[in-house]
Amino acid sequence: MRNYLLPKPKKSLGQHFLVDKNILQKMLSFIPVEEGQAILEIGAGQGVLTRLLAKKKVELFAVEIDKQLALLLEEEFKDNTNVKVIQADILGFDIKNFSQKLKRPLIVVGNIPYYITSPIIEKLFLARDCIKDIFLTVQKEFAQRMQAIPGSRLYGAFSCFVQYYSNPKILFTIKRSCFFPVPKVDSCFVHLKPVQKKWQTAINEDNLFFIIRQAFQQRRKMLKNSLKKVVPEETLDEFFKQEKLSSSIRAEQVSLEQFICLLGMLNQEKINIVNHHK
């Protein structure tokens, strides 16, 4: 049951508050809460997860865009020295600078609005150097896309993007009835473990993701057709031969590692793909 003293959920902010106490406890069991750990909570909302985290000996920073809810949370936690409420839009919040001032990495947790899931994840990956772990509640199909493998219906450009920067894992599914108001779809609690791979520093990521987006733009097309304006035909032919792939293969059957290999072959020709095709 909703506490009717609280502000009504705002559709404009995509607010669906998690209200199932068992699910909240289950989420907490996955979040490492060592003493002194700095935790950044995205979308504290009505404070249900905030209260559980506040009981731990962590330094908790609860970010909430809704001014009414932020004020209520500030009042509730005014005597908690380990909790700081920040009224802000996470998309405009400087995570990297915030972490650098704390002089330690963050664990990020949050029940994030469906309509801005991609921008939030992209922002977190940009600040990945100062993030230890990411735990998010997202739409079920969105979560499935994150960890989809080549050949699957849900595998696409977003799968490659998430898997380039992290090791994504669905921890468990959350029924839509666990939220208020009840959304139209189920959700998942996911763990995105940021990865730092040596080869990332040698890759032009703009070029890589440009190629991947082009490849998936018309996913039913054969790769050689979807990339014909981007990659020279002879390079594609050599790529298929080197990776032992059929020349009729589609993007959904090509792994992230293979896209990286294709970029490596293009690098030998010293072409900046993005600038070349602007």
Residue ranges covered by each domain of the chain: 11-196, 201-276
Average pLDDT over residues 139-147: 96
Question: 201-276: what CATH class?
Answer: mainly alpha
Locate 104 and state its tokens.
């330690």
| pLDDT tops 70 at residue 215 | yes
Helix (H) or strand (E) holding 193: strand 187-194
Count other C-beta atoms under 10 Å from residue 5's C-beta: 6
Residue 275 binned pLDDT confidence (cut-offs 50, 70, 90): very low
pTM comes to 0.90
| Topology given in CATH for the domain delimited by 11-196 | Rossmann fold (3.40.50)
Same fold, 11-196 and 201-276: no
Residue 136 DSSP SS3? strand
User: How many CB atoms are located within 10 Å of the residue 75 CB?
Assistant: 10
Q: What is the average pLDDT across 198-204?
A: 69
Q: Are 32 and 85 in contact (CB under 8 A)?
A: no
Query: What confidence score (pLDDT) does residue 57 get?
Result: 84
Q: What are residue 60's DSSP bridge partners?
A: 39, 83
